[in-house]
Amino acid sequence: MSEVLKKPLITEKLTRLQAEGKYAFKVDKYASKPEIKKAVQQRYPEVKVGKVNTMIMPSKPKGRFTQSGYIEGRAKVWKKAIVTLKEGEIDFFSEI
Q: Where are the beta strands (DSSP E) in 1-96?
A: 5-8, 22-27, 48-57, 61-66, 69-74, 78-87
Is the separation of the CB atoms in 49 and 83 below 8 Å? Answer: yes
Report residue 92's pLDDT band, with 50, 70 and 90 as the boundaries: confident
Is the separation of the CB atoms in 22 and 83 below 8 Å? Answer: yes
Whole-model pTM: value is 0.85
Render pLDDT for 34-51 as a digit per residue (tens, 0 to 9). Answer: 999 999 999 999 999 999
What domains sit in the chain, N to C, each tagged with a CATH number? 5-88 (3.30.70.330)
